[in-house]
Structure formats: structure tokens, C-alpha cells
Amino acid sequence: MPPKEGKPPRDMPATKTTPPTKTASVRKTVRVSSILSEDLVTIVSPAPEKIVLIESMVRGLCQKKGLGDPQPFLAKVFEREKKISTTLDTGLSLPHNPRTERESGAPAGSDPLSILSNIFASLAVIPGGMADPNEKDIPISVMFLFLSPDRSEFFPMHLQFLRTVAGLFKPALIAEIVKAATPAAVLETIRKAEK
Amino acid sequence: MARRPSRRVAEVVVLSTAMLTFISFWRAAAIVLCDMASTAWYIGGIAIQAVGPAAPWFILAVMLFSGCVLALYMEGSSMFVRGGVYKVVKEAMGGTLAKVSVSALMFDYVLTGAISSVSAGQYLAGLLNSIFPHLRIDWHLSPALFSCFFAVAAVLYFWRQNIIGIEESSEKALKIIWATAGMGVVILGFCAYTAATRGFTWPTTELSFSHESLGWLSGSDWPRRIGALGILIALGHAFLGMSGVETLAQVYREMEAPKLENLKRAAVIIFLFCFTLTVSVTFFAVSIIPEGEMPKYVDNLISGLAMHVAAPHWVNLVLQVMVVVVGAAILTGAVNTAIVGSNGVLNRMAEDGVMPDWFRHLHPRFGTTHRMINLVVALQVATIVLCRGDVYVLGEAYAFGLIWSLVFNAASIVLLRFKVRSGREWVVPLNVKVGAVQVPIGLSAIFLILTSVGLINLLTKKVATVFGLAFAAGFFLLFLLAERFNKGKGRGEHREKVNLCNEETVEDVLKHVEKPNRVLVAVRDPNGLHHLARALENLDDDTTQIVVLYCKIQHGMSFGGDIESLGPEEEHVFTRVVEAAEKAGKSVVPLMVLSNDPFYAIAQSAQAVGASEVVLGSSGRINIENQLERLAMTWGALQKADQAPVTFRVVQKGGAEMVAEL
């Protein structure tokens, strides 16, 4: 059959675009003060190495929230730390578990992160500052470590939470909480800031 | 207390170039029509003098054929956004023949500008000389002198408009075409009324060649004995009706989205406008203007029509004034078409390293290639001064450039059908599949007709052949020398020239953004702009402005100072950005910032320009999830209390994308 007039013949393909695949999105987020409790806030002085602090926070979180063996969580958080920085120039460090790349609909198996029901977080205030091996010029003043469900439908919430925490711990709030003497005072300062 | 080191944008530069200005299909059509439709003022007279009263039939044939030539240009443009005869011939037949074809075309452009403006001056001089006695003014203008001054003034006027930019010059062209359309409706309305009341006589089909019109064949009996030869000779004398068609390819680059659709619309408008005006005028002229009066109006058939349509005498005089004024306007508009077209052609050559890089310098304020425009205008002014108002020789000569650039173009499009089989969005119809090969019947027919007319013109148009060959050889030599001179200057692939405008803060970029909605597209890899293409494809250009951000990373906090020029990497990226924008026909605001963290730079810039969407390409180094995480963190760290929601879109090379709304 001859090609249709005005259209390219079959051996002269015109450019075509692939339809996009889209992820769902949510705009609701979790209040930071609602997932923290006094026992999940620590004031660290003197500052240990970043890796040591992360390990202790993950272990504490697993113990206090009954999440079981901390090893798989630690492995995931360290895996993420090897990638692009989780530290912001405000002095906030945000270690967290990454999203595992799985085929859509593939079973998560026994991965404990995939069966988490919510976000679990722990906060360390470091008044003296702590060096970050990845961002040498930025001393970490606050480390907010969290574990979030590793499921694709939760990823938008995960991103929202990252934005919320980064937006909450602005330099003024960080300056205030590093002065706080107790975890209760830290938590109270955060609550006030979130109002 | 020691200041906390921060991630920040240190320097902000907005890049500008006239290459990012796009025009509607109406304006594009108007630019081409200023040349093509202006031939209605003189083509009838030239053809009648050459082939006798049968001329309208040949003008009809040429104007019908102009549809095929427009189709030829549409196929070429659908392959190359920055196309036209130079690009097409170069791709098909190599650089030397491309330079030959452009030499012929430049001859056409330089002469078109000169002749059109001088003709306009002569019409005006004639009108003023006939009006002065009625106003009891005892003046008589020398048509030659007046037309020279007028032509120089007209060329300088459009020189200024083109220095300012195509938007400015196309605005003027559009006004001229509206005026011409209005005049056409009025005159053709009177003509139709006259034909209805006095009757209409169809012109004869008998050819009656003058001695001059046969050129070197004047001693021969062949044109009378061989019918086809006679027809080709007659067609050759009517071919001027297509002058300016190359400019369609040159303005395609500037055409706004949807590009190909708009090209088709422009081509249809050009075809219908020229066909209706030029053909109707010639047929009515032969029928309405009395035979004895014809010599008086042979150089200005529309004036003859104005004076002989059925109407009171004072109406005839008013119509004539209108015809002359509009004619002067459209003929000077042809100057604009010649400048726009030749600037486009020279740009393609300069991008290719044929012209010295010096010519590509952008006007510091308007971003136009002012040195090329200056060169073309200087050549036009020199031609006007040298011809001293006598357009006969040049008028005869300039058909050479037109026909031979068309022949080269057609031959190249045919060759490209076999050489480059993909990448066309539109093809000239009539293609027959023989085995695995598409045989371009329609294209080949166009090429054969053009070549036949071109060869015949070589024999019959002595002046055109002699002057055309001489001028084209001159241009060719010039291009050849320029290319030699330019060799060894380290020119590689074409790089876009841009003007840099340093701004104090990222917020100052808003001065360059006019549309209410903004999308920020971050770019890095010149070969990975698929996300920009996607953003341009989905963009509502009327309401949304794309700000393209390139972040130059510099570590150490001592960086700063104005960015005075682009490095090779940035030049490469922004060249591709401009290409993507012009392919889509949608404008972008290119922005370069100096920062010590790309994600901070993206978030800070997006918030500063009030972007509702941020588009990134997927990175080979960082996975999409990590990219989005880092963006979410930096967005949160920088966001103000009243920050509007934003959508982040990371587009992968295959087209899949991940979207996050924050």
C-alpha cells in the first residue's frame, strides 16, 4: 500500500515518545513530635564518630520500638549513607533507609523494612558538633535518624517526611535545641516549633 | 560565632539570544509573502512583455507549481529545523555544491532587496509627480534619484528592525500583508464587478515571444516548432513569482509550536494568498485594461486595474493611490524578507565554519547576529547606489539565483530520500514503493521541471545568465576564501553564541520571566536532554515559562566574581538547549548559576523563580529515588513558610518518569 499523502512512508519513521509512568503522590505528612518520645531523644557529648552514633541510634530504636534484630536496618541505613549525602548545610543529618528497587508488584519477602507499618525515628542532639566524613566542612549539630516502610506506595510519604524534617530543623531551631539541657526540653522546643 | 559554611548559589547569569524568540505562522507567512506576493506588482508586466497576452496562463501554472515548491521546502524543513538550501544541499551533495547553491541564492537575496525597494520608490515617485499638479505644487521628482534615496531609507529601516529582532520585523511584515490583503479584496471586488457588468474575456493561449525573451535562441525557430520548449521558455519568464520561497525554510527555525503544523498552515496561507492575488490580477488585467492602454501599465498592472475598473473617476484615483501606497509597502517589505532570509542562510554557513566566527557575534542588547545583517544591508545599499534607480538589468538577472537555488534544493531532497531514510515528519506526496525502495515520483517531477526551466533560462535570459554566473562566482569565491581563512581556527561542532547578563541574586531572574507559571528544568549533560524535550513537549507555552538551569559546580567557598564567558562544556549544553527549544518552537530562559551543591542550586533557583514544577533527567551516578530524596531535603531546608507546593519530575531516557508532589 502506498504511504498516505503527507505522512512519512513506513521506512521513514517520525519521532514518537514513550508514555510516562507515574508514581502516586500524597501531600500529607507526619508530625515529628508525634513520633518522638523522650526516650528516643539523646544529647550526645562528646560526639562519637558518625558511624558509631548511627549504630547506637538504630540499636536503641529497634530495642525501644520492638523492631527486632537491628542488623538489617543498620545495613540499609549504611547502604544509604554511601550514596548522596544526607547532611544539610543547616547542620542537620538525616540518616534513613533507602527505597529498595524492586520490580513493580514483586514480593518484599522477609525484609523487615517492607513490613514496617509507620515511620520510626530517633533524635540525637550534638551540642559540640560532629564531623561528617562526606561533608567535611559541615559540622552536624542534630542527627534525625528514621526508618520508613520500604514500599513503593509509601515513597511519596517518605519524601514528604524528608522535606518536613528538613524544613523544621532550620538554623534557628537547631540553635535552640543544642542549648536544651534535657531530652524533654528538646522535645518541647520541637513541639513549639511545629505548632 | 563562626559563620556556618553553606551550600549556596554564588553567581547567577541569564543567557540570552535572539535564537530563542519564536513567531506565529501568521508572521512567518507574512515575512515570506512580503517577497512572494509583491511580485504581483510586476510579474504580470514582465511575463506579458516576454510571452504576450498568453502570460496569465503561465503565471497560473507557475503559481500552481509554487504549491509543489512549498511542499519541497516543507519536506526539507521537516528534516532540518535549521534548514534551507545550504543545509539540505550540504547533507545531500557536500559542502562545495552547498556553497555554490548559496552563492546563487545570496545573489537573489541581495538583488531582491535592492530591486524591490527601488521599485517601491519609483511607484511613489510616479504617484507624487501625478499628485503635485493637483495640489498646485510645481515640483517634479526624478524617479531614479527619488527611488534611490527611498530605497536606501527603506533598507536602513528594515536593517534597524532586524537588528532589534525577528519579532519586531515580522510585526511590520504582518501589518503590510494585512494592508495588501485589504487592498486585494477591494481591487478584486471592483474587478469582479467590472467583469460582471462589462463581461470577461479569457486570455489567448497563443505564445508571442519578443526578441529579448528568447535570448540566445532568438535566431532559432525551435521555440515555435517545439511546443514544450516554448512552454518552458514561457514558464521561465514567469518564475519570478516564486521569489522569496527559500525564506520559508529560514523562518521555520523561528516558528513557534506546534512547529510542523504551523509550517503547513504558513505554506497554505502563502500559496492561497499568492495564487489568488497574482493570478487574479493578471487574468483581470488582460481582460479589463484596454489593449491600447496596456503599454502604459505593463510595469504596474494593478494600477492599470485601479484606473480601469467600473467606478467613478475619483474612485479610480483613490484606488490607484491605495495600490501605489500598498505596493510601496509590500515591496519594501520584500527588503525585510531578503534580510531575514539571507541572515538565516549566512547563519547556517557560519555555524558550519564557512563564515568567520566574527560574523556570529551577537548584538549586546538584542542578541541578533548584527554583523551578518550589516553585511547583507551593506551589499543591498551598494547595489542600490550602483544601479542608480535602473532596475532593468538587475531585475532580469535576479531570476538566476532563484531558479538555481531551487534546482539544487530539489536535487538534494530527492537524493536525501535515498541517503537518509528516517527523520522526516512530512514528505512530498506521490511515492511508489518498488521492492524495498520508495520511489519519490512527486519529488522527482518537481526536480525535473525546475531543472528544465533552469536550463532553458540559461539560454533565454542572457542578462540573468551572464550577471548571475558572475555574481554567484564572486560569492562562491568569497565563501571559499572565508572558509580557508577560517580553517585551523579550532572550530569543531557548532556552538551557539549567547549574551550573558549577570544578576545579583537568583530572584533577579524573575525580570526575564514574563509568564505566570514557571517550570524549572535542570540540565547537565548535553547528550542527556530528554527531560527538557519532554518538558517542552508538555508545556503550555502561553502560560508557562521554562527556566533551564545549568549549575556550574565549584568547590571551596572562595568562588565568586562575574562569569564573563561560557566554558566549552557550558557552550555545548546551551547549544543543545537552544536546539531543543527551537525544535519544539517554545522559548526558554537559560540560566547558569555557580554553586557548590547542585541540589541546593536547583531548590534555591526553583523557589526564587516560583517554579511549580522541577524537572530533572535521571543520572547515571545517582538513582532516581536518591535524587528525589536529596531534592526533598534541600527543598525543605530552603523553603519559606508560604512556599507553594512543587512537583518534582525525574525523567528517564526511555521516557518513564517518577513524579513526587511536595
Residue written as grid cell 544601479 = B387
ipTM: 0.86
End-to-end, the C-alpha distance of chain A in Å comes to 71
Smallest CA–CA distance, residue A103 to chain B, in Å, is 14
Portion of chain A with pLDDT greater than 90, in percent: 61
What integer pLDDT is reported at residue A104 of this predicted model? 52
Distance, CA of B391 to CA of A139 (rounded, Å): 80
| Nearest residue to B595 (alpha-carbon basis) of A89, A97, A10 | A89
Same domain as B508, residue B453: no
What integer pLDDT is reported at residue B468 of this predicted model? 87
* Cβ contact, residue pair B421, A98, below 8 Å: no
Smallest CA–CA distance, residue B403 to chain A, in Å, is 25
Domain ranges of chain A: 32-98+112-194
Same domain as B546, residue B416: no
Q: pLDDT of A114-137, one tens digit each?
A: 778 889 999 999 999 999 888 888
The radius of gyration of chain B from alpha carbons, rounded to an integer in Å, stands at 28
Architecture of domain A32-98+112-194: 3-Layer(aba) Sandwich (3.40)
- Nearest CB to A166; choose among B636, B655, B657: B636
The number of domains in chain B is 2
What integer pLDDT is reported at residue B131 of this predicted model? 85
> How confident is the model over A19-31, as a mean pLDDT?
57
How many residues does this entry show for chain A? 195
Same domain as B513, residue B478: no
Same domain as B288, residue B253: yes
Sign, Cα dihedral of A8, A9, A14, A19: positive
The verdict on residue B1 lying in a domain is no
Same domain as B550, residue B639: yes
Q: Measured between beta carbons, which residues in chain B are less than 8 angstroms from residue A92?
A: 637
The verdict on residue B4 lying in a domain is no
Same domain as B198, residue B285: yes
* Domain boundary residue, one of B431, B450, B482: B482
Where chain B has pLDDT below 70, the residues are 1-5, 390-396, 488-492, 556-562
The verdict on residue B3 lying in a domain is no
Residue written as grid cell 508571442 = B208
Q: Which domain holds residue B200?
A: 18-482
What integer pLDDT is reported at residue B649 of this predicted model? 93
pTM of the entire structure? 0.83
CATH number of residue B211's parent domain: 1.20.1740.10
Phi/psi of residue B423, nearest 5 degrees: 90, 0
- Nearest CB to A17; choose among B537, B597, B660: B537
- Nearest CB to B629; choose among A11, A18, A159: A159
The verdict on residue B201 lying in a domain is yes
What integer pLDDT is reported at residue A27 of this predicted model? 57
What integer pLDDT is reported at residue A47 of this predicted model? 87
> How confident is the model over A16-45, as a mean pLDDT?
72
Distance, CA of B484 to CA of A57 (rounded, Å): 70
What integer pLDDT is reported at residue B393 of this predicted model? 65
Q: Measured between beta carbons, which residues in chain A are less than 8 angstroms from residue B426?
A: 6-8
| Nearest residue to B58 (alpha-carbon basis) of B290, B300, B288, B282 | B282
Q: Measured between beta carbons, which residues in chain A are less than 8 angstroms from residue B268?
A: none
Same domain as B318, residue B198: yes
CATH number of residue B521's parent domain: 3.40.50.620
* Domain boundary residue, one of B451, B482, B513: B482
Same domain as B183, residue B62: yes
- Grid cell in block for residue B469: 554566473
Smallest CA–CA distance, residue A163 to chain B, in Å, is 4
- Within 13 Å, how many C-alpha atoms sit on residue B299's CB side? 11
Smallest CA–CA distance, residue A180 to chain B, in Å, is 18
Distance, CA of B349 to CA of B85 (rounded, Å): 11
What integer pLDDT is reported at residue B437 of this predicted model? 84
* Domain boundary residue, one of B482, B511, B529: B482
**Neighbouring C-beta atoms of residue B258, cutoff 10 Å:** 15
* Cβ contact, residue pair B426, A155, below 8 Å: no
Q: Measured between beta carbons, which residues in chain B are less than 8 angstroms from residue A155?
A: 625, 660
End-to-end, the C-alpha distance of chain B in Å comes to 34
| Nearest residue to B253 (alpha-carbon basis) of B343, B359, B357 | B343
pLDDT band at A22 (very low <50, low <70, confident <90, very high): very low
